[in-house]
Every structure is written in structure tokens, then in C-alpha cells.
Amino acid sequence: ETGVTQTPRHLVMGMTNKKSLKCEQHLGHNAMYWYKQSAKKPLELMFVYSLEERVENNSVPSRFSPECPNSSHLFLHLHTLQPEDSALYLCASSQDTIRSNYGYTFGSGTRLTVV
């Protein structure tokens, strides 16, 4: 384990379902991220949460809704998804200051299939 735990590992859902992905980090990091990894495409940043800000990629559809109740937990709420949303969803965390950089730590991802 990397210190970033994602659940579930696999998820199959219909287009009318509502589900949530969960991420938890045990590293004391102060920022958390959601990435989407599709075949043949670069990893795509979806959302960022840190102590000071929330950043989102404007190209992410509103059927994806993030929630970050505290610095250790991050959720991605899913509703009325499309088949093209099938992908590996990766959570990451980092501890960054202007004076230091510790890189990202990724979880193992949730493999989502929309049927």
C-alpha cells in the first residue's frame, strides 16, 4: 500500500445509478486530487482540493461531483454516467510548500465500467 487507499477497486454501474468513489490518505498530506486514466490518453486532472483552494478542470462534466470533508478523505460522487466515462479513476495526495516538494502519491485506482 502506498498510504493512499481507494475503494472500491472495481465498480460496474448502470447509466441511471448513483455511486461514490472513496479515497483516504494516511500520509498527513495537505492536498488531494482526482485523476481520470483512459486508454490511449494522458492522465487527466479532474479536481484538486487543498487547505486554501479547490480547483477543477472545466472540461469535467457535472455528472462528476467531488467532496472533501477533511484533509484525509476525498470522494467522487457519480450520477447518470455515460459509457465513455468508463476508466480508471485515480486519487493522489501531496504535501507541497513553496520551499519543498514531495511529489504525488497515488492510490491503486477504481476501475469503473459504465454499462
Partner 1 sequence: QQQVKQSPQSLIVQKGGISIINCAYENTAFDYFPWYQQFPGKGPALLIAIRPDVSEKKEGRFTISFNKSAKQFSLHIMDSQPGDSATYFCAATYLFSSGSARQLTFGSGTQLTVLP
Q: What is the total count of residues that contact partner 1 (CB under 8 A)?
A: 31
Assigned C-alpha cell, 42: 494522458
29 φ, ψ (degrees, to nearest 5): -75, 160
What character string, x for contact with partner 1 (CB under 8 A) and - otherwise, covers 1-40? -x-x-------------------------xx-x------x
Report the candidate in 6, 49, 29 with the shortest Cα–Cα distance to residue 96.
29
* Closest approach of partner 1 to the CB of residue 24, in Å: 14
Closer residue to partner 1, CB minimum distance, 78 or 92: 92
